Amino acid sequence: MYRKNFGWIGTGRLRLKTISEFVRWRHAARGATAILWLLFACLGGYAQTPATTPPAEAAPSDSPVTFFPHSETSRWWISGQDNVIFQYHPAFDAKYSGVNSFRAQSENATSNIATLFLGYSLFRNTEIFFDLEGAAGGGLSDALGLAGFTDLDVVRNPTLGPTPYIARGIFRQIIPLSQETVEAERGVFSLATRLPARRIELHAGKFGINDYFDLNGVGTDSHSQFLNWTVDNNGAFDYAADTRGYTLAVVVEYYDRNWAFRFGEALMPKVANGIDLEFNLKKAHADNFEFELHPSIGGKRNTTIRLLSYINHANMGVYREANANFLAGRTLQPEITAHPLRTTIKYGFGVNLEQQITHNARGFARFGWNEGKHESYAYTEVDQTFAVGTDLGGERWKRKLDKIGAVVVSNAIKADHQRYLALGGRGFLLGDGVLNYGRENIFETYYNAHVWRGLFLGANLQHINNPGYNRDRGPVWVPGTRVHLEF
C-alpha cells in the first residue's frame, strides 16, 4: 500500500517470472523515470513561480532536499517522487508451505513507485490536487504469506500491471473560524503557508483514508522511514481501500489550537482486496473517526495522541460460519467468501502516540484492535497489533538530514481466524494449508542517508518470527535497500 509515502500507497506489485516480463518492466521503469526527469527539467525552473514574484530562497546554510526548488508563494504546485526498493531473503526452515505462503526458498524482488504531484490554489481557502502514479516491479512472494509484509510500496494484485493510474484527485476547502493563524508547511496536500488556528477543513475526492487518519511523524512514510505494512500503518485498521490503497471519500476535520477531530466516509471494495468499489452506500461504506490531542507536558507541546475508531459495512464473511460449513461437509475447504450477498459490520479501535524525546530523537507507539469475527477485507490480516519504535536524526554525526530508526511490532489474529487457517482456509494474504499458531513478531531497522539535493539512499533490515502466524515456518531475515528521488 502506498499512501503514507506521500509518493505512496499502492500495495503488492507483480513479481517478475520470465525474461520477457523483466524486459517490459525495465523499459517501463526507464520510460517513467525519463518522463519525470524531462517534465521536471522543463518545468522546474519556472512553473512553481509566478512571473511577478521571485522564487522563495532557502537560507544559505540549508541544503536543498529536492532537485528543483519549490516556491512558497506560487498558486501552482508541481513535484514528484520516485522510490525504488530492493529486498532479498535467504532460504529459511519451513515444515510445509501452501498456496499463500511466504516462499521458503531464497528470492529477491524490486518495487518502483513514481508519483507526479500537482496542486493549484483556486482561491485563498480553496485548493485542488491531482496525483498520477506509476508502479512497476513486485514484492517478495507476490506479497503473500505475511501479515506484516516487508514493502509498503507493493500492490497485492499481480494482474494490475505497470500502467500509470490516477492515485488522487482532491478538493480541499478551508473554512476559517478565527483571525489567529498558525504556520503551515507547504507540500503536496497543502499550499497555504499559514492557516487559521481554528478552522474546518473539507476534503473530497479520491485518496487514501490513511492520507488523513493514523498519521505518525516517526512511522508513516515508506519513502524515508520504515517499510513494513504494520509499522507505517496500524495493522488492525482495516481501512477502506481498493487493491492499490485508494478510495472515494469525504473527510471533514475540525482544528483547534491544541486538538483536532476528523470524520471520514468512504467507499468499500466490492470484494476483499478488490479493485472495484461499491457505490451503493446501503450495501457498503466505511465510517472513520479520529480525535487528535496535543497536550502540554512540562510547558511544551511535544506529545501527540491520536485515538482512532472505524466501522466497516461490506459483504464480509464470518470465520466461524466458514469453519462450521467446512466441518459439516458443505464446502471442500473453509471458504470465507462462500455466503449469500449481504452486509455485515466490522469495527475496530486504535491508539497512536508520538513523543519528542530530545531535539534529535523521537519515539512512537501504536496499538490496534478489531473484533476479528469478520474477514480481513481491505488492508491486511491482523486483528490485534502493538508497535513501539524510535528514530534519531543525524546531527550528532554531522549528517543532519540523515536518520536512523528501529521498531518492534507484534501482530495477532483471533481464535476463529486462527482455526480457519489451521483447517486449510485461505485469506487474500495468508494460507499455509496448516497452522501452528504463534504471534507474528517483527523487528525492523533502517538508515536513510541524504546524498545530494533530492537523492536519498537507504538500508533496511527486517526480521520476522512466525511468518503468517506459523511457528512451523521461519524465522526469516529480509535485508533491503532503497533509492529515493525527490523532485
| 3-state SS, one letter per residue, for 113-158 | EEEEEEEEEEECCEEEEEEEEEEEECCHHHHCCCCCCCCCCCCCCC
**Contact of 367 with 334, CB cutoff 8 Å:** no
Query: b/e map of 377-404 (b: 16 or more CB within 10 Å)?
Result: bbbbbbbbbbbbbbbbbbeeeeeebbbb
Determine the Cα angle at 475 with ends 469 and 476, to 5°: 110
- The tens digit of pLDDT for each residue in 344-397 reads 999 999 999 999 999 999 999 999 999 999 999 999 999 999 999 999 999 999
* DSSP 8-state symbol, 374: B
3-state helix, strand, coil in the chain (%, to 5): 10, 40, 45
Among the residues of 281-363, which ranges form H helices?
Answer: 319-327
**Contact of 324 with 378, CB cutoff 8 Å:** no
Superfamily of domain 19-486: Carbohydrate-selective porin OprB (2.40.160.180)
Burial class (CB in 10 A: 0-12, 13-18, 19+), 298: exposed
What is residue 159's predicted lDDT score, i.e. its pLDDT?
Answer: 66
Q: Which three cell numbers stand for residue 279?
A: 457505490
Provide the 3-class DSSP secondary structure of residue 286: strand
Determine the Cα angle at 460 with ends 150 and 443, to 5°: 60
What is residue 385's predicted lDDT score, i.e. its pLDDT?
Answer: 98
What is residue 275's predicted lDDT score, i.e. its pLDDT?
Answer: 92
Max Cα-Cα span within the chain: 76
What is residue 46's predicted lDDT score, i.e. its pLDDT?
Answer: 29
C-alpha–C-alpha distance, residues 316 and 372, integer Å = 11
Burial class (CB in 10 A: 0-12, 13-18, 19+), 459: middle
C-alpha–C-alpha distance, residues 385 and 235, integer Å = 6
Domain boundaries, the chain: 19-486
Residues of the chain below pLDDT 50: 1-3, 7-61
Calculate the CA 465 to chain-centre distance: 22
Measured CA to CA in angstroms, residue 402 lies from 388, 393, 455 at distances of 21, 6, 12
What is residue 13's predicted lDDT score, i.e. its pLDDT?
Answer: 31
Map grid coordinates 479520491 to a residue: 206
Count the alpha carbons within 13 Å of 348 in the hemisphere toward its beta carbon. Answer: 29
The whole-model pTM stands at 0.86
List the beta bridge partners of residue 406: 390, 445
**Contact of 379 with 427, CB cutoff 8 Å:** no
